[in-house]
């Protein structure tokens, strides 16, 4: 199972990509713009990025250039493009893409290229996030507490990963929704509150104060202990 970021401004393509990859057991996060892609790449660690070249405001090439040069990102990137000339493909590969797929494409070819990229050895160091007795392994999508693996919903996992990457910082509810539910227009404050409760139930000890602090009229903070 791999954690994959999908970036495309066309909703139906995002839905198709997500369905195809999740049918193979992968975890997919979708964003509709280059700007949101950069925000996610700053916050989360992915095994692969599948990104459209032509997007308004910020193209996939610009996202790729900034990810490689400014953020020193090493995650494999598969570019989706309607461009077919050798010069254009050369530009994409020279900018830092690991592979490209020309639209329209067959789902089987997409999956084959994804498998090939995921087989490549990762040059990133394997970083496990820790907070007291909690450990979160982004590469394996695993949470452990006192050495025991916790089973939680995918969004509860994403919520904890977000908080563990930003310890001791206060976030307004809308800021959390924008980062953890970027592709879900139906997500609400009630959605967040429900997942906060589920997360607390999973990670907190009854005898201790919750690691997730609710600051009245301000938001939530994950206290590193």
**pLDDT, tens digit, 9 for 90 and up, residues 13-29:** 999 999 999 998 888 98
pLDDT at position 86 is 65
Domain chopping of the chain, boundaries: 3-119, 129-222
Per CATH, domain 129-222 is 3.40.50.2000? no
pLDDT tier, 154 (very low <50, low <70, confident <90, very high otherwise):
confident
pLDDT at position 217 is 87
For the stretch 45-98, pLDDT in tens is: 889 999 998 888 889 889 998 998 888 888 899 999 876 666 666 776 777 888
Q: Which residues contact 12 (CB under 8 A, 6 or more apart)?
A: none
pLDDT at position 128 is 81
pLDDT tier, 137 (very low <50, low <70, confident <90, very high otherwise):
confident
For the stretch 155-193, pLDDT in tens is: 899 899 989 888 889 999 998 998 888 767 788 999 999
The class of domain 3-119 in CATH terms is alpha beta
For the stretch 204-225, pLDDT in tens is: 987 788 889 999 889 999 997 6
Does the pLDDT of residue 37 top 80, yes or no?
yes
Strands of the chain (E only): list them: 3-7, 27-31, 48-52, 77-81, 99-102, 129-131, 134-137, 142-145, 148-150, 170-171, 212-215, 219-222
Backbone angles phi, psi at 131, to 5 degrees: -150, 100
pLDDT at position 124 is 45
pLDDT at position 181 is 84
Q: Which residues contact 96 (CB under 8 A, 6 or more apart)?
A: 64, 65, 67, 68, 77
pLDDT tier, 125 (very low <50, low <70, confident <90, very high otherwise):
very low
Q: Which has the higher per-residue pLDDT, 185 or 101?
A: 101
Task: Report yes or no: 48 and 117 within 8 Å, Cβ to Cβ.
Answer: yes
Rounded Cα distance, 198 and 24, in Å? 27
Task: Report yes or no: 74 and 124 within 8 Å, Cβ to Cβ.
Answer: yes
How far is Cα of residue 99 from the mean position of the Cα atoms in its chain? 19
pTM for the full model?
A: 0.62
pLDDT tier, 122 (very low <50, low <70, confident <90, very high otherwise):
low
The first and second tokens of residue 213, run together, are 């602090």
């Amino acid at each position: 199972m791999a954690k994959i970021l999908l970036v495309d401004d066309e909703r139906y393509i995002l839905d198709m990509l997500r369905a195809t990859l999740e049918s193979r057991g992968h975890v997919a996060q979708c964003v509709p713009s280059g700007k949101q892609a950069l925000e996610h790449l700053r916050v989360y660690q992915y095994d692969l990025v599948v990104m459209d070249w032509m997007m308004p405001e910020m193209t996939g090439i610009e996202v790729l250039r900034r990810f490689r040069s400014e953020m020193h990102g090493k995650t494999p990137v598969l570019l989706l493009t309607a461009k077919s000339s050798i010069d254009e493909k050369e530009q994409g590969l020279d900018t830092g893409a690991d592979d490209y797929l020309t639209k329209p494409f067959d789902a089987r070819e997409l999956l084959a290229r994804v498998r090939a990229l995921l087989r490549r050895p990762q040059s990133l160091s394997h970083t496990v996030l820790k907070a007291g007795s909690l450990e979160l392994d982004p590469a394996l999508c695993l949470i452990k507490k006192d050495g025991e693996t916790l089973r939680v919903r995918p969004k509860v996992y994403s919520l904890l990963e977000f908080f563990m990457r930003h310890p001791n910082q206060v976030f307004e509810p809308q800021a959390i929704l924008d980062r953890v539910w970027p592709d879900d227009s139906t997500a609400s404050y009630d959605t967040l509150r429900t997942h906060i409760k589920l997360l607390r139930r999973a990670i907190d000890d009854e005898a201790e104060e919750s690691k997730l602090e609710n600051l009245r009229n301000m938001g939530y903070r994950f206290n590193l202990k």
